Structure 1
């Protein structure tokens, strides 16, 4: 059992290490992450979520795959989530192959420096890819959208930082009911878009 600012939460020593090393949580807890509002399956959410594997705790900002899916909706969700995670892992592998600093352990660096290094590597990689292309193609993003899209999300970057705001964010992040509702809403959303 871990004791947090909000009270007791269930987690393991591995969970503490994951959270301790994550600049994402620094930004979320300090109120520096962009403020989001988006709707999934008719429910409004205000924290971004990250696709993870089973080692991460069940927080409202982590959505794990379903290890033993039962039924077509759960199977489709697991397939889509795993495919997206693999895309991210491949992209990270490309960065590791191109930049030695990404491949080597960075435990001795400060989290802020790691974030800046990763950002710089991503920008450099994008510049290299663009330079190596035979001509620059401008894509019309509307061809990738499904039908008549109404924008149901909003992002703000100015968020007041105060202790009450941070406590509210901590409560939302550790809310297991919110985690479960988001996961179920994502399963339904994927089924409605890509299911039978």
Structure 2
């Protein structure tokens, strides 16, 4: 099969056009990717007044004269207050994430009480991370991180003792 000069010219034009279109599309895709990579990603900062969240939590459950009695604490946290406080104490002493530290501006972050309360309530009630924003003053992503770090820490600190099959002595 032989090509005429018109077929050869058409093929040359088609190949040239294909090459230009491919180059144009490649350039557009590269430009789009560069814009996405170089585009600064900023989170919207929301001033949540986390100090007020800690203070409210403290006044409601942990002060000398708390707003809510121990039986309400037991019902809401699914454990006694001394057990909760011993968990918080151990986590804040042994796991860096649960220590309250100042940020670059000298402002303290969330307290161990706030972080543990968010994690325990998510576990107890199966609610989403943004449920506790208004009361505990922490965002959804922070609440989910608290839950993740809490689970890791509980396994690390208490796993050998409590996360095992009961022994005959335990059953007695």
Structures share a fold, TM > 0.5? no
From the CA coordinates, give the structure whose radius of gyration is larger: 2
Larger proportion of strand: 1
For normalisation by structure 1, the TM-score amounts to 0.26
Q: Which has the higher contact order (CA 8 A, sep 6+)?
A: 1
Larger proportion of helix: 2
